[in-house]
Amino acid sequence: MKNLRYTLLGICISAMGWMGCQPDLLETIPNDRISKEIFWQTIEDATFAANAVYPSLDGTSLFSYDGLSDHVLTNHPFNANVELQRGFGTIASGRYFSEWQNAYRAIRRANDFMDNIDQVEESDQAAINRLKGEVMTLRAYQYIKLAMLFGDVPLITSGIDIDTGRSITRDPVSQIWDFVADDLSQAAEWLPYQNGGRVGKGAALGLKARAMLYAGRYEEAASAAKTIIDSQEFALYPDYFELFQYEGENSQEALLTREFAADVNAHNIYATAAPWSQIPGSTGSLYVPTQALIDLFPMANGLPISDPGSGYDPRNPFDNRDPRLYQSVFLSERTPLPDGGIYGSTPGTDGSDAVQITVYSTATGYNIRKYVDAEDYTNPSNSGLNIMLMRYAEVLLTYAEAKVELGQIDPSVFDALNEVRQRESVGLPPVTPEQAGTVDELREIVRTERSIELAFEGFRLFDIRRWQIAEQVMPGVPMGRYYEDNGEWLQIRLDGFDRSFDPNRDYLWPIPLREQELNTNLTQNPGY
């Protein structure tokens, strides 16, 4: 036993001596996570890191932006949007914080990629540059939203530590636009138009056109849009309704989509938008159209319903209208439902979705039809339908609007505008220079076309802000459909749901309270 003790002691002393000669022996690589020491080595690693930024793109949340506008009502009274729509939002409101947090989480992932990508030893520099272009485009997508929602925000372009995060300040929104423009220009140089379903040149240039339009930099907006148009890489899908159904996925109109797959990476846009009657055991009708939007759709002859010569009949308001109205909205007693029935919303009836038949049925008498695909009827929370984030029609309308704002009204403006209006399934008469009239009249035509074509795609909130018309269109009681009751013609009024908009405050959201508590250097927007 004595000899055994000496033997063990000797082994221990030898082992300690050997370990003492290897100071890095205890610096082991963790096996419960991916470590930087072994990760940034191959093009596959870089691709995985780029993939981690893609989930930050909007999905069903697109509807929620329109749900804060005059064209869409947030239909569930307990939804977080309601207090904002009514002007009751405070710096402690969760919606403000979640938008800020989600955007900067995505930016952090993108910055981590950009900080480390050059460690990858890869002979194919074009492949590295493509991934850089993808991530730069995805990061710009977030900064565009932040700039439109909050104005001045911290411009963070590389990884930061906790102490820095508690001391950063807001950068002028003009610097955000400069950064976005430069990054997207560089990304566009590196990216091909066709990139295997990933972010491509069209997305980079399209986002630059969008950002510059939002920023009021119309020359740059028109130039980026024109580059896409001249490339002939994209085209309008012939059927407007199918464009937002499974049939229209991955069409030549799509520049940027958030891709989903049933059972793997699904979403619930069907359950969010579809009429209550089409959501067995669920709620539905979270966001519903208002009459303000319905009234924008012209007659099939192209004339607005307010024109005495349009042929509009107030007692038959849905006859002979722009086909996009039927393709975008469930209308009363005339639109087929996914279950094979007929949509019926007339108050006081036993229609499928009569107003007030349940707390979840539409309050305005309308429901959104875009993205409601009958294929999802049996499993409404397991939709694999891709969500369109940018499409060619937006590019055409961006070009037309930017040229109008520049006063450069030439045939190309009417070509872009009329290409949208004359989609095969729409077929509205073209707008001519004689019909357009003055610059102000043409501006209204372009804005109306944009509001109709891009309805329910997340643009209206940002448009009424940059057009500085929110205080004109937001306040008051939301209005719904007209209907007949015992020979009397009535209109739905959502009394008690007055919306408000303070132009001295509400053109920007507040910096969230939790962010200011963590960093007192973050100044607050006026009025909060």
> Could you give all domains of the chain from N- to C-terminal order, each with its CATH number?
40-236+505-518 (1.25.40.390)
pLDDT digits (tens, 9 = 90+) for 463-477: 999 999 999 999 999
State how far the Cα of 17 lies from the Cα of 26, in Å rounded to an integer: 14
CB 321 within 8 A of CB 400: no
271, HSE (Cβ side, Cα atoms, 13 Å): 14
Q: Enter the pTM of the model.
A: 0.92
Cα–Cα distance, 141 to 486 (Å, whole number):
52
Q: How many CA atoms lie within 13 A of 481 on its CB side?
A: 26
| Residue ranges in the chain whose pLDDT is less than 50 | 1-21, 25-26
Q: What is the pLDDT of residue 131?
A: 98
288 φ/ψ angles, rounded to the nearest 5 degrees: -135, 145
What's the pLDDT score for residue 28?
53
Q: In 3D, which of 345, 204, 236 has the Cα closest to residue 285?
A: 345
Q: Could you read off the pLDDT of 33-43 as tens digits, one per residue?
A: 566 667 999 99
Kindly give the interhelix angle for 201-215 and 218-231, rounded to the nearest 10 degrees. Answer: 150
pLDDT at 483: 94
Question: What's residue 27's pLDDT?
Answer: 53
pLDDT for 12 equals 44
pLDDT attached to residue 138: 98
**Do the beta carbons of residue 62 and residue 457 sit within 8 Å?**
yes
